[in-house]
Structure 1
């Protein structure tokens, strides 16, 4: 990549294959010679479980105090105690089969949500400490970008304070969706949520800048203009199950109806100015059926699965087809993110 980048994979609706997409994209980028780190900011830790082997996972979490020091929770050590500093010298773990480094998640991230929500309120009241705590993830990602070309941020399905911090940290974001009514609602909710807090963020920043400009200048992670405001890359659509006729997929009317409404639902993001591409449709993610649990069990990307991982018979040709479809989408994402 020509420049250091961070990408968040974000949707407040669950069940859209977000983590699978993010991790397989990370493996694709790594295969192109790009150094990649994945930061798991989902308290459910799905990316961590997919990327790390069973042995790594058990060694990491069998000791509770050790787990806190070796996961992303360590970055919040001072903030959890009421201070404002971010720990940025985190150790990463290597995912051998994905070819990436991992900053593992931790279930206790869910407990930090209230602290981050309070920090946002303090930031709104023009408090510098509140601003620093709100921008903790941006501080961490900036630090990681000194070692890695690409940082991928996986988040949980919510519109809470933790995900707000993640999006403040990201240069760009992608919304994986499915072709259903609730995905349309999710897109509209995301736009409303973003439009609300982005305005608040700028107002709060201006207040802090007026109140203590010299002190604010000491923290370059806190900026008035967030990359997010011009960094929406678009959406991927999870393929629905279709029937085939003469080798061609037959469209399912209800799902096509919802998919055709996506551009309209996303217009509010365009109005906010966060869209920089004329075509936001990044492509369709194939429904890979049994190959997804195989990949999860093997802690491997779909492209790397072998017969030792359980692939059998026709699955090899299916794998080749899925990987071709995924790579077309991934190449488009990487191209856009590199600009």
Structure 2
């Protein structure tokens, strides 16, 4: 069965999209998995990252006066007939996914800036979830039902959902549709403080979900029955000296890990039971630590490819600079390949 995963933190600026992008490539390249990336963030950053060449070509054609449109079905277009009540469910058979590269089993369900319009409808559906309003109940489970049937349709091993840095109804619906989640964090005071509010948000979401599972199942509605399993933190965006995190970063790495054990893990267990937390996180909450990409990050964004696939001729880096970057790219590759192995457990 398809495993659905998201990287979620309501705190922005933690490299969530970039990490999702690299994890998708690692699952395909390293483990030979068939992967779908769903862009559930109205900012559409991961759509831009995967499809930048297509977008540049369309922009060029539009500058010459041509009418153009992105290929594939957008997430908003797929969901809207269901949210409007035109259909009992999402027309999964009609969803046209995009395959950026013919040589890889990696697909994109592209985003749409208008997806934010779904926020009010999903929020209202959530507020009506315990009433007899079947239309709102179907809206409440529409996203989970769509992802499950889409995974089965194309036999995906993994669906990675890129959600926005919010605690709104849209993000909640996608989060609760997942089997597992990881939480990217940057080692600073703001991320440390955010662990408290994250604990409260997720505890509330999970508790509310479990309260309605039985009733929805009786109505034969395709609701997520379990709770997303916390697979660990992803420590990122820290600088190093002599191979170790600099003291100013290590301070917050330690504090965030401690706060996760003290606050986040107990709140998840209280809400969803011991099975809602991956056992290894109880003593070591960080699944991996990925140092600052430095100049590699803007280069991979410019060229639209994973960091480890950057080539010397396209970067312009020479001599010792290239040697240093090449070693860093190899390290990034190894880190993401190990993360893919963890996700695959």
TM-score, normalized by length of structure 1? Answer: 0.85
Alignment of 1:148-297 (within 5 A): 148-208=156-216, 213=218, 216-217=219-220, 219=221, 221-223=222-224, 225-228=225-228, 231-242=229-240, 244=241, 248-249=242-243, 251-267=245-261, 268-271=263-266, 272-273=268-269, 274-278=276-280, 279-297=284-302
Are the counterparts in 1 of residues 239 and 291 from structure 2 also a CA contact under 8 Å? no
1:299 Cα shift?
1.3
Q: State the partner residue of 2:43.
A: 44
In the aligned structure 2, how far is the partner of 1:297 from the partner of 1:310? 10
Aligned pair partner of 1:131 in 127, 137, 161: 137
Matched, 1:72 2:72: no
CA RMSD of aligned residues (A): 2.7
Aligned pair partner of 1:95 in 96, 100, 108: 100
Cα distance change of structure 1 residues 98 and 261 upon mapping to structure 2, 3 Å threshold: farther
1:327 Cα shift?
3.5
Give the secondary structure class of the aligned counterpart of 2:129. Answer: helix
In the aligned structure 1, how far is the partner of 2:144 from the partner of 2:339? 21
In the aligned structure 2, how far is the partner of 1:97 from the partner of 1:185? 43
TM-score, normalized by length of structure 2? Answer: 0.84
Are the counterparts in 2 of residues 235 and 281 from structure 1 also a CA contact under 8 Å? yes
1:87 Cα shift?
2.8
Q: Which moved more, 1:43-52 or 1:88-97?
A: 88-97
Cα distance change of structure 1 residues 181 and 126 upon mapping to structure 2, 3 Å threshold: farther
Matched, 1:85 2:83: no
The gaps in structure 1 that reach 5 residues or longer are none
Cα distance change of structure 1 residues 317 and 169 upon mapping to structure 2, 3 Å threshold: farther
1:98 Cα shift?
9.3
In the aligned structure 1, how far is the partner of 2:234 from the partner of 2:28? 20
Cα distance change of structure 1 residues 318 and 117 upon mapping to structure 2, 3 Å threshold: farther
Q: State the partner residue of 1:107.
A: 113
In the aligned structure 2, how far is the partner of 1:191 from the partner of 1:78? 34
The gaps in structure 2 that reach 5 residues or longer are 270-275
Are the counterparts in 2 of residues 187 and 266 from structure 1 also a CA contact under 8 Å? yes
Give the secondary structure class of the aligned counterpart of 2:99. Answer: strand
Aligned residues: 323
Are the counterparts in 1 of residues 288 and 339 from structure 2 also a CA contact under 8 Å? no
